[in-house]
Amino acid sequence: MLGLSARLAGLPAVGGRVLAGGLSCHVTDRPGRRPYHEVTGENVCPNMVRGIDNVREPRLNKGMAFTLEERQRLGIHGLLPPRFKTQDEQVDLCIKNVSRYQEDLNKFIYLMGLQDRNERLFYRVLSENVEQMMPLVYTPTVGLACQKFGLIYRRPRGLFITIHDKGHIYDVLKNWPEHDVRAIVVTDGERILGLGDLGAQGMGIPVGKLSLYTALAGIKPHQCLPIVLDVGTNNKELRQDEFYIGLKQERVSGAEYDEFIDEFMQAVVRRYGQNTLIQFEDFGNQNAFRFLEKYRNKYCTFNDDIQGTASVAVAGLLAAMKKLHSRLSDHTFLFLGAGEASLGIANLCVMAMEQEGLSSAEAHDKIFLVDSRGLIVNNRPEGGVTGHKAEFAKDMPPMKNLGDVVKKLKPSALIGAAAQPQAFTAEILKDMGEFNKEPIIFALSNPTSKAECTAQQAYEATQGRAVFASGSPFDPVTIGGKTLYPGQGNNAYIFPGVALGVLCTGMHHIGEEVFLRAAEALSRMVSDAELDAGRLYPPLNTIRDVSLQIAVQLAEHAYRTGKASTYPQPDDLETFIRSQLYDYHYGVSVQPVHPWPALQ
């Protein structure tokens, strides 16, 4: 009677569920716990949610999957069509809606709209249809989405922190409504995929990456925060674009830029804690390496372009070794490109070959790099060799043309990560096939338009003998009566699982050995049958389990080496990690009720 009297008086029900005006009260008898939503179990803030908010808030919304009892209890009876739909039916409708669009950008916009409307449904669609959906929310479509970001921007999905916020970054971080942030993906937009400086429009990358954190590794979406650090752009066309959404000024650099990044890192730790994972994404080459060296032993951080790309590429190489019945140290590697990706792969290859028994010098001797000025050699006349490239410089005459370098070195593995489309010409591919029974050819540049060659070109030039992988997806190729399925060396095989392992074990720092362990774990998941079909990676539809197994391997490594801080150590690491995963199911079975019962 007390609750009813309160309702009639227009006051909150004491210990009840209903407030005057259709408000639903979610205060419960859980002392010391944050208020939660009584149907979905979600933590919510503030502790009173209006009925309509259950439909408008994407984390709470279930659409027509709300049962009759839920609709009545939450005050949304009549706000939805009278039909009840299961989540399975909703998934089927979403897939049909995606297929209605002809252009991938429109499919991307639809999926982002779904994420804004119904979070659990979005992640179920993505998680259970990875092969179909991942190219739409991530590579390659996300590159086009970044280019068009000013046109397709709809609503906030992350933080934009500008150079003008310097001195107040912590205050900006406090504006983000979630307190339990565990993982951040941050970019300054200077080097988006192979597309260059896109400034603030690079936000599509952190959003896409963190969507995969949840869809592929089960990291809870409210624990993820995408951030763009907008310091301007040197892309003159963007600055003149009426639809550009960022600061229309040239990039700030030097001491002011470094102080800005320092303040950001400190503000993250102050706001969310020392163990917050900070993934750097698509920074310019020079800054990417500097920040990795500067912060790796002070924060829980890694650079996906350097370390994630390296790990997935080395995983592909280790899988290729299984197919070829050889070791990395038996091969000669030639890289087109000497930036973040190539150097990251080269350095991880060195670590792997050292593990096979080679010295550091012997491992470096197996690796050759070509940049925009030609082969990396000592005493090069045009500008010399600086930075991390110098470790791989050889005592050889200068050579500019990639084809000439291939003929001279006769490498067994050719790896492209320079965003130079069609750089692997038919002649180069043919030479690789003549020098090797089964040449290793990796065209890793993204998006697809930047790939060094296509799968079909590689297979045709080598009569189907190439061991091929790419950064973007390619269709199967039939040659000589055999259908080959090119492996996609997508970073999504690595970074979600690494993040899950790091977060579950509470690692303070992420060393290079973490990425080598991840690469080894991934390579072991490729079966002999898959290798024979041309695949160097497990099927994309198994990637959620791949992420889990990588996380388990890293957790074992973290506890074995004393790098974990989550104690006591769980008796069963896999069971423990599974218990942390996000559940995209609604959790309440939907049973259509007919006829409509009378309202009580």
**Nearest residue to 319 via CA among 466, 521, 131, 478:** 521
Measure the CA–CA gap between 406 and 292, rounded to whole angstroms. Answer: 32
- Short-list 573, 565, 578, CA closest to 505: 565
Catalytic residue among 123, 138, 299, 582: 138
Q: Do residues 278 and 301 lie in contact, with contact meaning Cβ atoms separated by under 8 Å?
A: yes
Per annotation, catalytic residue among 62, 85, 107, 209: 209
Going by C-beta distance under 8 Å and a sequence separation of 6 or more, which residues neighbour residue 189?
197, 198, 199, 200, 201, 202, 203, 228, 230, 233, 246, 282
Question: In a 10 Å sphere around its CB, with 0-12 CB exposed, 13-18 middle and 19+ buried, how is residue 324 labelled?
Answer: middle
CB 186 within 8 A of CB 229: yes
What is the rounded CA–CA span in Å between residue 219 and residue 2?
42
d(CA 138, CA 37): 31
- Among 127, 124, 115, residue whose Cα is nearest residue 59: 115
Q: Give all strands (DSSP E) within 259-320, no chain letters.
A: 277-280, 301-303
C-beta neighbour count of 524 within 10 angstroms: 15
Provide the token pair at 217: 């590794």
Burial class, 296, CB count within 10 angstroms (exposed 0-12 / middle 13-18 / buried 19+): middle
DSSP string, 212-269: HHHHHH---GGGEEEEEEE-----HHHHT-TT--S--SPPP-HHHHHHHHHHHHHHHH
- Judged by DSSP in three states, 329 sits in helix
Dist. CA 46–CA 306, nearest whole Å:
41
138 is catalytic: yes
Identity of residue 200: A
The yes-or-no answer on residue 485 being catalytic is: no
DSSP string, 150-175: HHH--S--SEEEEGGGTT-HHHHHHT
Q: Please name the residues in contact with 354: beta carbons below 8 A apart, sequence gap of 6 or more.
A: 360, 363
SS3 content of the chain, % helix, strand, coil (to 5): 50, 10, 40
Q: How far apart are CA 155 and CA 161, in angstroms?
A: 16
Task: Just list the catalytic residues.
Answer: 138, 209
